[in-house]
Chain A
Amino acid sequence: EAQVTQNPRYLITVTGKKLTVTCSQNMNHEYMSWYRQDPGLGLRQIYYSMNVEVTDKGDVPEGYKVSRKEKRNFPLILESPSPNQTSLYFCASSPTGIQGRNYGYTFGSGTRLTVV
């Protein structure tokens, strides 16, 4: 089954304790992206990657890091989490190029992160 897999689904952590949210896709998509969803603000893009070793900032990158060492994986790293990073996070993937314009995204199921 074609899918984007995020782990964990739920995470409660303390301020300053480094964490990683994993994202993996099995569709050989070039494009991957991380969003956070907050009430009244919709989905805001954190980082995206056009392909292996190619990443770029989205609209709200502060406090986050990403890496794209393999095509299928795109982990989101919070080096020193703070309470304002409490949110619902989604990973998504898509083809690029001409094929990409006909394609929305395939989303993961989401990770609900609480930083206390």
Chain B
Amino acid sequence: ETGVTQSPTHLIKTRGQQVTLRCSSQSGHNTVSWYQQALGQGPQFIFQYYREEENGRGNFPPRFSGLQFPNYSSELNVNALELDDSALYLCASSPRGGQYNEQFFGPGTRLTVL
């Protein structure tokens, strides 16, 4: 069983640029959630995708957008990067089918915005 993978592991961008982060869900999981974790903080929910549709969104502006593909992998796109977007971006996958589904996290992508 393959776990959640994310790419790239590290990324450096400058203000105003755009970035795309990628996530492959764990085998058999059809739901992907994205979280932003600032240094020294707990992860903050960005949004969730289920069957290629956004299924819930946290308090993040529209310049944070995402996609889910038929194979359940997902992308997080951030436009017009700001310095405060520097963080660890985590992807988590889970099997949809009711409540209380454990979310499995990937190792994250460390984004630095200069």
The answer to whether A and B belong to the same complex is: no
